[in-house]
Amino acid sequence: MSTVRIVTDSTSDIPAELREQLGIEMIPLQVIFGSETFLDNVTLTPEQFYEKLQSATVMPTTSQPSPIQFMEAYERILNEQPGASIISMHLSAKFSGTYQSATIGASMLERDADISVYDSKSASYGIGMLVVRAAQLAQQGKSKAEILEDIEQMNEDKKLYFLVDTLEYLQKGGRIGRASALIGSILNIKPIMTIDSEGYVNVKDKVRGQKKAVARILELMERDFGKDPVDLTIAWTNVKDLAIELGELTKTNLNVRSVHHTWIGPVIGAHVGPGAAALFINRVRGSI
Amino acid sequence: MVNMGAERLHRNVEQVNALNVFPVPDGDTGTNMNLTMTSGVQELRSKPSLAVGKVAEALSKGLLMGARGNSGVILSQLFRGFSRSLAGQEEINSVQLAAAFQHGVDAAYKAVVKPVEGTILTVAKEAAKHAVTIARRTPDIVEFMSEVHDKANEALQRTPDLLPVLKQVGVVDSGGQGLVFIYEGFVQALNGQQEESSWLTAESAFPEFTSGNGAVKSAVAPQPSLQKTSAQSQLSTEAIEFLYDMEFFINRKLGGGNVVPFDEAAFKRNLAKDGDSILVIADDDIIKVHVHSRRPGDVFNYALPYGELTDMHILNMRDQHRDLLHEETPAQTVSVYNANPAEVELGKVVPEVLTGAPVDSLSAASAHEWAPFGIVGVAMGEGIKNIFLDNNVDVVLSGGQTMNPSTEDFMKAIESLAAEHIYLLPNNGNIILAAQQAAELSERSVTVIPTKTIPQGLAAVLAFRDEESATDNTEAMTQAAKQVRSGQVTHAVRDTSIDGIDIREGDFIGILEKSIVTSAPALSEACKELVARMMDEDGELVTILTGEQAELAETEALSDWIRTEYPDAELEVHVGGQPLYPYLFAVE
């Protein structure tokens, strides 16, 4: 039986401890402030990033890892465990060239290797939950095909909603399309955002005021999952309180089995802006 | 030679950056390519060798490690193929070099998931093709490289023809420009020219990199073909030379017996006299024409001899652009590349961005078709009008309690909209009937959402979703209008008694929906009483629209009172500008 190893990138926002425990390899993207370049979630922690963002005079930009970084990671894994299969799971190809870099990295390997590069069509813990699940299944000795099938189902079933303080960051980064043009700027309209099944950022709904936005998200999730047992992950930029409040409210409306917390890391944070918070939710999945 | 290529690129980083078409802060193709190239050169310097194969290998490895951004990745793949082709060689001639260029192009095309023409790929491809063609008869390596560079530059100048978004903004492709600079450096190096090369230190890596917001300066004198400032700002309204965007069909069958044989070349030449973005698709019966022209009348006259003209659409692009500039949101600026739907339909445009910014989900083909929905609203006051216009309302008719718009006013507004389905928001109980009558009389698909107040109208437009069906929108808008509580304050014009409330002339009366609920000599008192009635126990969001007669101090006092009295509710104050009613309130 061959081993399956999981590779992801830094935008999956998996807490380092969990990542290490599950043996997940992580390739960082880059965050660039003017002439300073940082490795996402490695040489720049989310706390440092949001602090830096407040005093920064230039807007940060971000950059995908180079193909060689992926190639080297794959090499390293294959040297450690010859014959291992690899699933490399990444940020939506609609947002970043990371997926392409990984694909090129895999094609550059000069030996036979069984690597599947998987476009999560998602971001942050929307990738993270799939990666964690995949790593758990790998630990249980499931095959690459079994794992891929399971995470694809999970991917289709999962939901994510996020709130941003302003659409400015998404618009400036070019990460949101036509929908945002329809949102007026005079009234304090809170768009409820999601990432659709194609991997694009979309406006799910728009309401006025923070309270209504929170209420609407709860309503949407109730409609999505009813009373099915769910796992919930809450992620925040620099608004931990809002995120925790969201999580608490969710518990009263839904059958929540577990709640996890994480940061929205620098690269994703650079594109959603400070003030953003996100909820990631999936039906509890049994063994396969 | 490689050093010189890197040097040329490095010196022109900002020029390449400025070519980015998309108004995004990471418009930094030049920086990405420069950092990629820098990494290549560093690797090369760390492994000095006289053997060409070894040099190319080191360069390739460095580039692969340093690849950033899409253009950087493509650059690294070009040189990866290039170096593989030269592996083991000590020296090379033109033929081998040409083959190496070709290998590079093959590798790059294979590596990129969706190759887009009109980019660095095209420039590399054309240059390599030319290199292979001339290699045998051009043994002199300097002459050879110089020709390859010229060809690359030629291909670069043609990139706008392949990628219409470049043409729109009037620039050549930024990644392609970066490659041309590198080739230019190769030529200079082979010619024995030297440039100061002190830049491979970390401090000088970003010489003039001022900011990431697109406001970068060009550090060098621009070449004639290039822009001095960033591409997006180049699209000034006046710069749209051929301002009438025309689209129509020539129906050959409907032209009677008099139609002359269609001479496509002559017709295109005529259009080109005063136009660009010309597209003519002819089949036996129908000719589709798209052109940006300065003289729309002439265009029709050229077309008339060939048949009857149908489905004629003309848009003034300066007008559209003024609107875009007015809005000043990047997302809307992006929609500039909607302006050429014909090319998009033909698959000529793959709106792929080479700066790392992705393509968004614009349905590019829809720009010239009718919009799915149009909304007509009624309002008094500049502020309220602007709020409606800011939230998807296309036409705001002036009117309210006293100046009701007529059925004809509605009819005219309906006719003015190129939309499949039109919603009317009367926003006043006295106007609903006129709107309904207009809906009946019109041959278009029109629905009246019977909104009786401005707050109801606002709630309705906020529930509107462009991507939903008409049925769903009607339902959502009607429901939303019912969810909001509307209040208004005005002064009484005579003494009376209604619903057990005694009203004196000059008093301020508070109206909740249709009923007078309070009357008081002081405006503040009437407002407080009205708001208290509106809040009940579950009001979460209070919106105040201030009228012409509202005074700042009064508004502030009222706001403070609401915040103190209802600490859990959110409060928003907007300038409405309506006459006669100092305050309108909405509670949701």
The set of residues, in sequence order, having a beta carbon less than 8 Å from that of B19 and lying 6+ positions away, is B29, B30, B171, B172, B173, B174, B177, B226, B227, B231
> A111 CA to chain B: closest CA distance, Å?
17
Q: Which whole number is the average pLDDT over A206-212?
A: 84
Strand B244-251 versus strand A277-283 pairing type: unpaired
> A139 CA to chain B: closest CA distance, Å?
32
More confident residue, A170 or A7: A7
Cβ separation of A209 and B570 shorter than 8 Å?
yes
Going residue by residue through chain B, which has 588 residues, state the pLDDT in tens, using 9 for 90 and above.
666 666 666 666 666 655 554 333 234 566 667 777 777 777 777 777 777 788 888 888 777 766 666 677 788 888 888 888 888 888 888 898 899 999 999 988 877 666 778 888 999 999 999 999 998 898 888 899 999 999 999 999 998 888 877 776 677 888 888 888 888 888 887 776 644 443 333 222 222 222 223 222 222 223 333 333 344 344 456 666 778 888 788 888 876 666 788 888 888 888 888 887 666 666 667 777 777 888 899 999 989 888 889 888 888 877 766 665 554 433 333 333 333 333 333 333 333 222 322 333 333 333 346 788 999 999 989 999 999 998 889 999 987 665 678 888 888 899 888 889 999 999 988 788 888 888 888 889 999 999 999 999 999 999 898 888 999 999 999 999 998 999 999 888 878 877 778 888 888 999 999 888 999 999 999 999 999 999 977 788 999 999 999 999 999 999 999 999 999 898 999 999 998 899 999 998
HEC string of B84-104? HHCCCCCCCCHHHHHHHHHHH
| Three-state secondary-structure class, residue A57 | coil
Cβ separation of B113 and A100 shorter than 8 Å?
yes
Hey, what amino acid is at B22?
F
Report the distance separating Cα B113 and Cα A100, nearest Å. 7
Cβ separation of A101 and B391 shorter than 8 Å?
no
Hey, what amino acid is at B276?
D
Give the one of B334, B392, B540 whose C-beta lies nearest to A211's C-beta: B540
Which token pair is B527? Answer: 């407002």
pLDDT for residue A283 is more than 70: yes
Chain A residues touching B360 at Cβ < 8 A: 174-178, 200
| Three-state secondary-structure class, residue B445 | strand
Report the distance separating Cα B275 and Cα B268, nearest Å. 10
Q: Hey, CA dihedral for B10, B16, B18, B22, is it positive or negative?
A: negative
> What Cα–Cα distance (Å) separates residue B201 from each residue in B6, B8, B12, B24, B198?
13, 16, 17, 28, 7
Give pLDDT, residue B24. Answer: 30
Chain A residues touching B392 at Cβ < 8 A: 182, 184
pTM (2 decimals)?
0.59
DSSP B165-229: HHHHHT---HHHHHHHHHHHHHHHHHTT--------SGGGGSTT---SSS-PPPSSPPPTTS-SS
From the number of C-beta atoms within 10 Å of its C-beta (0-12, 13-18, 19+), residue B476 rates as middle
Cβ separation of B356 and A206 shorter than 8 Å?
no
Chain A residues touching B390 at Cβ < 8 A: 184-187
Chain A residues touching B458 at Cβ < 8 A: 187
Give the one of B25, B211, B387 whose C-beta lies nearest to A187's C-beta: B387
Task: Inform me whether the C-beta atom of residue A207 falls under 8 Å from chain B C-beta atoms.
Answer: yes
Report the distance separating Cα A240 and Cα A263, nearest Å. 9
Whether the CB-CB separation of A125 and A46 falls below 8 Å is answered with: no
Chain B residues touching A65 at Cβ < 8 A: none
Give pLDDT, residue A166. Answer: 82
From the number of C-beta atoms within 10 Å of its C-beta (0-12, 13-18, 19+), residue A275 rates as middle
Cβ separation of A178 and B361 shorter than 8 Å?
yes
Which token pair is B530? Answer: 């009205």
Whether the CB-CB separation of B489 and B474 falls below 8 Å is answered with: no
More confident residue, A173 or A143: A143
The set of residues, in sequence order, having a beta carbon less than 8 Å from that of A48 and lying 6+ positions away, is none
Task: Inform me whether the C-beta atom of residue A166 falls under 8 Å from chain B C-beta atoms.
Answer: no
DSSP state of A66: P
Report the distance separating Cα B324 and Cα B339, nearest Å. 12
> A11 CA to chain B: closest CA distance, Å?
16
Whether the CB-CB separation of A207 and A189 falls below 8 Å is answered with: yes
Cβ separation of A176 and B360 shorter than 8 Å?
yes
Give pLDDT, residue A212. Answer: 84
Cβ separation of A174 and B357 shorter than 8 Å?
yes
Hey, what amino acid is at B563?
R
Domains and CATH numbers, chain A: 4-28+65-156 (3.40.50.10170), 159-283 (3.30.1180.10)
The set of residues, in sequence order, having a beta carbon less than 8 Å from that of B242 and lying 6+ positions away, is B274, B275, B276, B277, B291, B292, B293, B294
Task: Inform me whether the C-beta atom of residue A212 falls under 8 Å from chain B C-beta atoms.
Answer: yes
Compare all CA atoms of chain B with the CA of A207 and give the residue at the minimum distance.
B462
CB pairs under 8 A between A and B: 160
Report the distance separating Cα A46 and Cα A63, nearest Å. 17
Report the distance separating Cα B490 and Cα B318, nearest Å. 43
> B495 CA to chain A: closest CA distance, Å?
38
Contact map slice: A 100-159 vs B, CB within 8 A:
100-101, 103-104, 107-108
Give the one of A67, A96, A211 whose C-beta lies nearest to B570's C-beta: A211
> What Cα–Cα distance (Å) separates residue B259 from each residue in B305, B309, B312?
6, 12, 19
Percent of chain A at pLDDT exceeding 90: 64
Compare all CA atoms of chain B with the CA of A57 and give the residue at the minimum distance.
B211
Q: Which residue has the tokens 């909820």?
A: A279
The set of residues, in sequence order, having a beta carbon less than 8 Å from that of B6 and lying 6+ positions away, is B34, B37, B38, B40, B41, B182, B185
> A135 CA to chain B: closest CA distance, Å?
27
Task: Inform me whether the C-beta atom of residue A66 falls under 8 Å from chain B C-beta atoms.
Answer: yes
Give pLDDT, residue B17. Answer: 59
> What Cα–Cα distance (Å) separates residue B85 from each residue in B102, B149, B336?
9, 20, 42
Which of A40, A75, A189, A208 is the best mutation test for B, with the most CBs of B within 10 A?
A208
From the number of C-beta atoms within 10 Å of its C-beta (0-12, 13-18, 19+), residue B345 rates as middle
CA B76 and chain centroid, separation: 30
> What Cα–Cα distance (Å) separates residue B107 from each residue in B47, B81, B441, B562?
24, 5, 64, 67
> A287 CA to chain B: closest CA distance, Å?
35
Q: Which residue has the tokens 């009857």?
A: B308
Give pLDDT, residue B349. Answer: 32
Cβ separation of B360 and A107 shorter than 8 Å?
no
Which of B230, B391, B485 is the best mutation test for A, with the most CBs of A within 10 A?
B391
Hey, what amino acid is at B199?
W
Report the distance separating Cα A33 and Cα A57, nearest Å. 9
Report the distance separating Cα B41 and Cα B79, nearest Å. 12
Residues paired with residue A31 on neighbouring β-strands, in sequence order = A38, A62
> B278 CA to chain A: closest CA distance, Å?
27
More confident residue, B130 or A57: B130
From the number of C-beta atoms within 10 Å of its C-beta (0-12, 13-18, 19+), residue A276 rates as buried
Residue A287: CB atoms within 10 Å: 8
Whether the CB-CB separation of B569 and B540 falls below 8 Å is answered with: yes
Cβ separation of A212 and B541 shorter than 8 Å?
yes
DSSP A77-124: HHHHSTT-EEEEEES-TTT-SHHHHHHHHHHH-SS--EEEEEE-S--T
> B46 CA to chain A: closest CA distance, Å?
18
Hey, what amino acid is at B580?
L
Compare all CA atoms of chain A with the CA of B586 and give the residue at the minimum distance.
A208
Hey, what amino acid is at B446?
V
Give pLDDT, residue B326. Answer: 58
Which token pair is A27? Answer: 């390739």
Give the one of B25, B331, B363 whose C-beta lies nearest to A176's C-beta: B331
Task: Inform me whether the C-beta atom of residue A41 falls under 8 Å from chain B C-beta atoms.
Answer: no
The pLDDT tens digits of the residues spanning A95-143 come to 889 999 999 999 999 888 999 999 999 999 999 999 999 999 999 999 9
Cβ separation of B572 and A188 shorter than 8 Å?
yes
Cβ separation of A172 and B330 shorter than 8 Å?
yes
